[in-house]
Amino acid sequence: MAPKTRLLKSSQGMTRDELADFLEGIAGRIRGGEVALTAGADSTTLQIPEQVTVDVEAVTQDKARGTKTELEIEIEWYPDGVAAASGIELG
């Protein structure tokens, strides 16, 4: 198995409104077929095909500070643009 190559990684705090603006910005760029990202000195541009696979996971974990909740949205694709079947819907 070939090793992964990290193109970019970032973590930052945001307000709920800032998060919504960020996700709306990404959504618009996905519709255009290209997402350019910059974090510090790192940057990358991703070409988004017509078909992708979206994995969504929501988990909770008890921590010393309280219950940590995580929502993970992962978007994957191969150059041929073939997507796996999915069953997630926004409610």
Host H or E run for residue 68: strand 66-76
pLDDT at 38: 94
- 91 part of a folded domain: no
Q: How many domains does the chain have?
A: 2
55 and 41 within one domain: no
How does pLDDT run across 7-44, given as a tens digit for each residue? 999 999 999 999 999 999 999 999 999 999 999 999 99
Tokens of 43: 């940057």
74 and 53 within one domain: yes
Residue 6, classed as helix, strand or coil, is coil
Q: What is the pTM of this model?
A: 0.81
- 39 part of a folded domain: yes
Task: With beta carbons less than 8 A apart as the criterion, state whether 52 and 31 touch.
Answer: no
**What is the DSSP-derived secondary structure letter of residue 50?**
S
Contacts of 13 (CB under 8 A, 6+ apart): none
Q: Which residue has the tokens 């996971």?
A: 57
43 and 31 within one domain: yes
Tokens of 16: 């709920």
Which one, of 71, 77, 67, 50, lies nearest residue 59 by Cα?
A: 71
How does pLDDT run across 50-88, given as a tens digit for each residue? 999 999 999 999 999 999 999 999 999 988 766 666 666
Q: Range of 39's domain?
A: 15-48
